Amino acid sequence: MEIKLESDKFSIIGESLPIREVFDVVERAAGSQSTVMIYGESGTGKELIARALHINSPRASKPFIAVNCGAIPHELLESELFGYEKGSFTGAINTRIGRLELANQGTIFLDEIGDMPTSLQVKLLRVLAEREIDRLGSTKPTPIDIRVITATHRNLEESMRAGKFREDLFYRLNIIPINLPPLRERKADIPLLVNHFLKQLNGTAESKTISEEAMHFLVNYSWPGNIRELANFVERMLVLSIGSTITPRDLPEKILGDTPKEKWQPLNKEEEGNPAQMLQQSLKQSFHVGIPEDGINLKKTVEEFEKELLLEALEKTGWVKNKAANLLGLNRTTLVEKLKKLQISSPAK
């Protein structure tokens, strides 16, 4: 299921039960004039829901003005919202229209409303009650016709108990609450979102797909940054992954968890013929140590194997450390440290 906005960039995609419940509320609430409060963690798409409410409302052809109350310093937020008259304070050389007035006949979206200082909460309450604003320095109110949609990641009931959010304002804003689920609660939507981002971004990068094994890891990751984190991750994988298919080998350890990357190398045919990949696969297949009944000294065995690889790389490159380091995928400093640790020195000339 997908709610379309003005472009693919602002599509809301999902088929899971939690997001379908959100779609249902959006479809029923879009045509009303009631205030809406959107709850959700950072990155869940609260502004997209606000845009969906606006685009599917009778106000769709009018302005949609978004204001992040947490991103604007408190001392500037009042003038941003209400505007000011010329000469109302030092530096006010011209009259400025505030965001509330710019949204006239349309929708104002106040994101992170929980961060609004209590002094401004009183003024916003008056706007909702009287449908008019007072510019700073003005002697008469200006009538406005706006729909107010707000969003927050905070628990406003706790904020009210702490005296940080006005109870009367809360009840005016919370007429239609929408609870936006985090991505970890809508795992069934992750493949849809990943393929959507791949389709969206493939036009600006080398065209790639994702393997079923890699998708399995993405579905089971918790995504604390939600959809925003997932979108950024897909873009990063398009740039950094090897070959035309994103595989578990390309994924970072935080997503793989306890599964070693080596288990998945190589996974696609394009890596066949790649000298580095072939060497790695050959070593995994050929270097097998049978463990006797009385056991082995793991540290000593690993050191001996590492020493053999270092010596072979040095011999192949004529003992040129930079070239040997490149052959082994190391930087020169790391190679030198290993040579010292294993007491490997250049042969006498």
Quote the pTM value: 0.70
Domain presence at residue 292: no
Peptide bond into 266 cis (omega under 30): yes
Domains: count for the chain: 3
Domain final residue pick, 154, 181, 208: 181
Q: Are residues 234 and 166 in the same domain?
A: no
For residue 95, give the CATH number of its domain: 3.40.50.300
Determine the pLDDT at residue 289: 52
Spatial distance between the Cα atoms of 116 and 127, rounded to a whole number of angstroms: 15
Determine the pLDDT at residue 269: 45
3-state class (DSSP) for residue 143: strand
Q: Are residues 69 and 207 in the same domain?
A: no
Domain final residue pick, 245, 263, 286: 286
Q: Are residues 241 and 129 in the same domain?
A: no
Residue corresponding to tokens 């070239």? 323
Across residues 325-345, what is the average pLDDT? 85
Across residues 38-65, what is the average pLDDT? 95
Res 311 pLDDT > 50? yes
Res 267 pLDDT > 80? no
Q: Are residues 151 and 26 in the same domain?
A: yes
CB 207 within 8 A of CB 199: no
For residue 215, give the CATH number of its domain: 1.10.8.60
CB 193 within 8 A of CB 230: yes
Spatial distance between the Cα atoms of 163 and 18, rounded to a whole number of angstroms: 32
Q: Are residues 19 and 138 in the same domain?
A: yes
Domain final residue pick, 181, 214, 247: 181
What's the CA angle centered on 270, arms 268 and 271, to 5 degrees? 80
Which pairing describes strands 147-152 and 132-133: parallel, antiparallel, or unpaired? unpaired
> Mean of the per-residue pLDDT values for the chain?
84
Q: Are residues 166 and 188 in the same domain?
A: no
Res 175 pLDDT > 50? yes
**Which residue spans within 12-125 are E strands per DSSP?**
12-13, 36-39, 64-68, 83-84, 96-97, 107-111
Determine the pLDDT at residue 272: 43
Q: Are residues 161 and 217 in the same domain?
A: no
- Shortest CA distance to 218 belongs to which of 243, 197, 200, 239? 197
% of residues, the chain, pLDDT over 90: 53
Res 277 pLDDT > 60? no
Domain presence at residue 291: no
Range of the domain at 58: 2-181
CB 216 within 8 A of CB 255: no
What's phi and psi for 123, nearest 5 deg? Answer: -70, -35
Spatial distance between the Cα atoms of 335 and 326, rounded to a whole number of angstroms: 10
Tokens of 201: 């971004």
Who wins on pLDDT, 319 or 230? Answer: 230
Q: Are residues 152 and 212 in the same domain?
A: no
Across residues 236-241, what is the average pLDDT? 89
Spatial distance between the Cα atoms of 181 and 275, rounded to a whole number of angstroms: 46
Domain presence at residue 293: no
3-state class (DSSP) for residue 24: helix
Q: Are residues 135 and 233 in the same domain?
A: no
- Convert the pLDDT of each residue in 112-156 to its tens digit: 999 999 999 999 999 999 999 988 877 788 999 999 999 999 999
Q: Are residues 142 and 19 in the same domain?
A: yes
Q: Are residues 209 and 269 in the same domain?
A: yes
CB 40 within 8 A of CB 182: yes
Res 189 pLDDT > 80? yes
Domain presence at residue 348: no
Domain presence at residue 113: yes
Determine the pLDDT at residue 95: 80
Q: Classify residue 127 as exposed, middle or buried by CB count within 10 Å of its CB (0-12, 13-18, 19+).
A: buried
Q: Are residues 114 and 213 in the same domain?
A: no
